[in-house]
Amino acid sequence: MIRNIIKYPDPMVRLISANVRFFNDELQDWIADMVDTMKEYDLEALSAILIGIQYNIMVVKEDDIYTPYINGRFIKHAGKVTATERSIYYEGISVDVERYERITLIYEDEHGAPQSKDLEGEKARLFQHYLDYCFGSTFVDRVDKEVKERINNHLEFGLVKDSSGGACPTVFYRDYFKRAAKYIMIAVLLTFAIPFFASKEVSHKVYMVDKYTLALIPMLIISYFLYAQYESRKFKQCTSCQTGNIIGVATILFVQFLIVSIGVFWWVGR
């Protein structure tokens, strides 16, 4: 069945979609309606909320196959690239949006089986664009304040307000803790070359500095985790605020810290 697509200024676009907990005939009917609607409007992708279904369901056209993504989210990302995007919700508006260039996503198929997939380029961008809708966000939330203000002034009723308590910011403050931890580990790694050309006395001094420097990293990781929890509650609609993503980043940082620490004690301090 072909359904109407919600468009500006319908506030339903700001609702956060619930995860699907059942995989029955009703779900299959929803997916069929999404496919029919995509064919009617010649769409490459569609989020269920855009046809009034408040569940985390996306359908993406891949060649001639319409693939459903249930409870989708991405757990890894790399690189960033800016490109022009358009929205079927905010018709007639196009803006340059920065997105991740490569992502690893997890989701469930229409039968509830867990799946994972790596996407890059335009496919990664398309997935991120429509996943935003599932979390009560739109591409407008990913541009800077000046561009957003111009769009707001252009629209007849202004931008649709975020009912979830805050739009996805372009910069998360938790990232400063992550970057600081990484920069310190890189600086310590550079000292691994000292034993090759310096005396034992100099190496020992560097080793002592490394030890005190490394002590900062666990504090930064803990600070990142705690502040990320605060941001995850504040920006519930943002895909990067999901708890699994935050735990994954903190775990990777901690593993990197352990590896660098072992190198300091085994190599620099020997």
pLDDT digits (tens, 9 = 90+) for 77-110: 999 999 999 999 999 899 999 999 999 999 999 9
Residue type, 124: A
More confident residue, 164 or 5: 5
CATH entry, 11-154, from 3.90.960.10, 1.10.10.10, 3.90.45.10, 3.40.50.11890: 3.90.45.10
Structure tokens at 38: 């995509």
Find, among 150, 161, 169, 147, the residue nearest to 238 by Cα. 169
**Residue 8 DSSP symbol:** T
Q: What integer is the mean pLDDT of 166-190?
A: 83
Structure tokens at 125: 């961008």
Asked if 184 and 209 touch (Cβ cutoff 8 Å), the reply is no
Q: CA 126, 131, 134, 136 torsion: positive or negative? A: negative
User: Facing residues of 111 across strands?
Assistant: none
Count of CB atoms situated within 10 Å of the CB of 54? 14
Q: Residues 11-70: pLDDT tens digits? A: 899 888 999 999 999 999 999 999 999 999 999 999 999 999 999 999 999 989 999 999
